[in-house]
Structure 1
Amino acid sequence: MALAVCLLFDPATERRLRALWRRLEDAGIHTLASHTHGRHHPHLSYAVLRAWDLEAVREAVDALPDGGPVTLRCHGTVVFPRGRAALAPAVTADVSRRQESVTAALVATGADLHRNYAPGAWVPHVSVATRAPGAKLLAVVEAVADVLPMPLTVDRAAIIDSGTGQLWPLAAIP
């Protein structure tokens, strides 16, 4: 599977995102709530790795400065191939710099960074639907529109193995 460095949300934001997942699941649309092992957390990934040395990754990310909590604002939906849909948060220049620092630190460990997370290619997103066929995408967009604008408050970060759901909390928010 993959290893990701993720921003995680405060309890109120996580409740709102999980409620959106439930609404979509009730409409027959797959979300992270039912995807693979079912242990997914609402998150925004700074980086996704296809190959890595876990200890080297943990050391590299732990060495990055603490950027502190941040609030992002979502005003729309982004749709990716194969029926994947997500909230599209606006990010500040500071958050973009943080993402670039994280990816540079990870690449320096020899990790294989997924091409969609390379600086200049990163599309910040918070996954909502994992497999929505074309006919159901309208329902996804409508469900998201009903909760917009949505502030997302980041209050922690973690390294997460997407294959197992195992999470390693970070001491700081890079």
Structure 2
Amino acid sequence: MTHVIEMFLDEEADQQVRLLWSKLSDAGIPSLASFSHCRHRPHVTLCGASELGSDDLAEASEIIARQLPPLTLGTLGAFPGYRGALFLGVVPSVELLDLNARLHAQLVSGKGRRWRFSGPGQWVPHCTLANGLTAAERARGLEACADFEPLDCRVSAICVIDAATGERMAVLA
């Protein structure tokens, strides 16, 4: 099992991301709306671990309660590779990077093994638009979403999600 801590976006930003998901679908590109368990909401993943126990969640809630950073979805981008992704890049504010670092410091001491690329110095904060795309699909997707404008938004909730099923395991904020 893998648990992820996800920041959900305010209603306006959520709608803007879903509009981009629709543009991808209209262009014949599968978006996150139809990926895996199909229960995805527009979000930014703060971190992930193989398991988050109740002690981990209590400590994570305390850390998160101290700061809910505003987010700016500032860029449209793509991760490379055979089955890459399209995303909206989050401007990495000091507050956001600090929140990620504090959560990882707490999770490393817990029994759950953290995700390698979601920790300090490796994390690329982003809101995924589509996963598992070929290079040609990524190129078409970038074209379909080319009119994206940077978007300032608020975090509406922070939750622990079971990555395999999309089930909400806990609300942290």
Same fold (TM over 0.5): yes
Which sits farther off after the overlay, 152-161 or 142-151? Answer: 142-151
| Residues 39, 165 of structure 1: 8 Å contact kept | yes
Task: Spell out the pairing of 1:45-64 with structure 2 (5 A cutoff).
Answer: 45-49=45-49, 51-64=50-63
Question: What's the CA shift for 1:68?
Answer: 2.9
> SS of the residue aligned with 2:66?
coil
Which TM-score applies when normalising by structure 1? 0.89
Question: What's the CA shift for 1:131?
Answer: 2.2
Question: What's the CA shift for 1:67?
Answer: 0.7
In structure 2, the gaps of 5 or more residues are none
Question: What's the CA shift for 1:105?
Answer: 1.2
| Residues 69, 155 of structure 1: 8 Å contact kept | no
Question: What's the CA shift for 1:69?
Answer: 4.8
Partner Cα separation in structure 2 for residue 53 and residue 96 of structure 1: 21
Tell me: CA distance 1:80–1:102, structure 2 relative to 1, closer, same or farther (3 Å).
Answer: farther
> SS of the residue aligned with 1:164?
coil
Question: What's the CA shift for 1:149?
Answer: 2.1
| Residue deviations 1:62-100 (CA, integer Å, cap 9, x gap) | 221431351323123132431212111212111100110
In structure 1, the gaps of 5 or more residues are none
Partner Cα separation in structure 1 for residue 6 and residue 52 of structure 2: 17
Which sits farther off after the overlay, 104-113 or 74-83? Answer: 74-83
| Residue deviations 1:11-61 (CA, integer Å, cap 9, x gap) | 111111111111112222122111111101111111011x21432331221
Partner Cα separation in structure 1 for residue 90 and residue 123 of structure 2: 12
| Residues 83, 133 of structure 1: 8 Å contact kept | yes
1:11 — aligned with what?
A: 11
1:165 — aligned with what?
A: 166
1:136 — aligned with what?
A: 137
Which TM-score applies when normalising by structure 2? 0.89
The answer on 1:121 being equivalent to 2:122 is yes
| Residues 46, 103 of structure 1: 8 Å contact kept | no
Q: How many residues align?
A: 170
Report sequence identity in percent. Answer: 27
